[in-house]
Amino acid sequence: MTPTDLRALLEGVAQGKVALADAEAQLRKLPFEDLGFARLDHHRPLRTGLPEVIYGPGKTPEQLAKSFDAFRQANATAIATRVDAAKAEQAMALMSPGTQAWARYEAEPRLLHAGPPLTVKARGYVAVTSAGTSDRPVAEEAARTLEILGHTVRRVTDVGVAGIHRLLAVRDELEQACVIIVVAGMEGALPSVLKGLVSPPVIAVPTSVGFGAHFQGLAPLLGMLSSCAPGVSVVNIDNGFGAACSAALIATQKEPAA
């Protein structure tokens, strides 16, 4: 349940359009729903501004299917990350027919999700920038998560520091973003270089793309953490989802308290 949903429900009760029993039924599962193997936090959007999300690895197709059915009954956005294609197919086959029609799987970002995108009041668009095409799956995890969360995304791809003129060519577009996610592997230099050129905050995402001394993403992670460019924040290796959540909170225009 989002703040908008709760406000509409309370207004409906106040105006006599929603019966108390119906309102009670909708609120009964707050703050969570116990499925036995998981406690789904339907109250999370009210507290944090972000929906409950399932981490796909370690979950069975049956657990994913039951969770998505529960999200649908609660009229909540459902997102599962890092789900491979085989597991997604099995999970969708186990969902109720209504949930099957509601769910969608995207292979590149490995996202299984359902429900319409959230509605937010955003400060502007988020730019998701990637150094090379090999970084695209992580960048797409960030971009599609943001779009599901209701944000406008502009993708800027293949602008790594090996050809700095490519980055300079899109500088104006990046400058207009309210926040920039920068996804890079190898030596991870792009976030530092970019933040020296533009004013929006930068969220850096190191990827596990690189050669031996890259250490599966450790080298760019340490490089980004050691950035001398102020205004760069760093998430964990390949964590496009985490970067998207941070960017969404920065980009969301909060309504003033009544």
- Residue 142 and residue 81 share a domain: no
CA distance 83 to 224: 27
- Residue 84 and residue 179 share a domain: no
| Amino acid at the residue 242 | G
Answer yes or no: are the C-beta atoms of 251 and 179 closer than 8 Å.
yes
What's 235's domain CATH number? 3.40.50.1970
- Residue 225 and residue 161 share a domain: yes
Domain around 138: 126-251
In 3D, which of 28, 149, 20 has the Cα closest to residue 9? 20
* pLDDT given at position 2: 63
> What distance lies between CA 107 and its chain's CA centroid?
15
Cα–Cα distance list, 243 to 4, 114, 232, 246 (Å): 24, 21, 12, 5
Flag whether 26 is in a domain: no
Q: State how many domains the chain has.
A: 2
| Amino acid at the residue 153 | V
Flag whether 29 is in a domain: no
| Amino acid at the residue 87 | K
- Residue 144 and residue 108 share a domain: no
3-state secondary structure of 205: strand
- What predicted TM-score, i.e. pTM, was given to this entire model? 0.84
- Residue 154 and residue 178 share a domain: yes
Flag whether 15 is in a domain: no
Flag whether 224 is in a domain: yes
- Residue 95 and residue 147 share a domain: no
Per-residue pLDDT of the chain (258 residues; tens, 9 = 90+): 566 666 777 788 888 887 877 776 666 656 767 678 878 877 787 778 888 899 999 899 999 999 999 888 888 889 999 999 999 999 999 999 999 999 999 999 999 999 878 888 888 999 999 999 999 999 999 999 999 999 999 999 999 998 999 999 999 999 999 999 999 999 999 999 999 999 999 999 999 998 888 899 999 999 999 998 999 999 999 999 999 999 999 999 776 555
